[in-house]
C-alpha cells in the first residue's frame, strides 16, 4: 500500500551544513523506523519556513547512498504568523506493508511538538 510518512526538524541557524545534516538525520530515521528502502519511495516533498534560504534541502537527500534516483521536490512552507521558525517538513510517499496507524512519523528538535496526536517518535 502507498502511504505518506511525515517528518520534521528544526535547525538553530540558516546554514547549509545544518540544514543538510538535519534532513539526512530525519530521512534516515524515517527509513529506519518504517523499514524503508529507497526503491520503495515514490517521492519526497520537503518544505522549509521562509527564514531558511541558504540551500536546497533536496541536495542532502540526493547525496544519500541509494537515494540519488528518488524524485525530491522543495517548496516554501506557508508563512502563517506565529508558526514555528526554522522548520523543515518532509513528506515521503512510499510503498509499505503496514496500516496507516502503524506508520512511524519522525519529529526532531522543536518540531516534536507539531503533531503529538500522531504519537511521533520524538528525539532531540
Annotated catalytic residue 50: no
Choose the catalytic residue: 74, 95, 102, 121. 74
Q: Is 12 exposed, middle or buried (0-12, 13-18, 19+ CB in 10 A)?
A: exposed
- Annotation marks residue 107 as catalytic: yes
* Residue of 25, 28, 77, 121 marked catalytic: 77
Q: Which of 89, 95, 102, 123 is catalytic?
A: 89
Residues ≥6 apart with Cβ < 8 Å to 55: 16, 19, 20
In the set 12, 39, 95, 115, the catalytic residue is 115
6 is catalytic: yes
* 3 annotated active-site: no
Catalytic annotation present for 123: no
Name the strands in the sheet holding 106-108, side by side, starting at the edge strand that comes first in the sequence: 72-76, 41-48, 87-95, 2-10, 106-108, 121-123
Of 25, 28, 62, 121, the active-site residue reads 62
Annotated catalytic residues are 6, 62, 74, 77, 89, 107, 115
Amino acid at each position: 500500500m502507498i502511504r505518506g510518512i511525515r517528518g520534521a526538524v528544526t535547525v538553530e541557524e540558516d546554514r547549509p551544513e545544518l540544514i543538510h545534516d538535519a534532513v539526512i538525520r530525519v530521512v534516515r530515521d524515517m527509513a529506519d523506523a518504517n523499514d524503508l528502502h529507497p526503491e520503495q519511495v515514490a517521492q519526497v516533498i520537503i518544505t522549509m519556513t521562509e527564514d531558511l534560504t541558504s540551500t536546497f534541502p533536496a541536495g542532502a537527500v540526493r547525496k544519500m547512498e541509494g537515494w540519488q534516483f528518488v524524485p525530491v521536490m522543495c517548496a516554501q512552507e506557508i508563512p502563517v504568523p506565529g508558526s514555528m521558525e526554522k522548520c523543515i517538513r518532509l513528506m515521503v510517499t512510499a510503498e509499505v506493508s503496514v496500516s496507516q496507524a502503524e506508520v512511524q512519523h519522525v519529529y526532531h528538535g522543536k518540531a516534536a511538538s507539531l503533531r503529538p496526536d500522531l504519537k511521533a517518535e520524538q528525539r532531540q
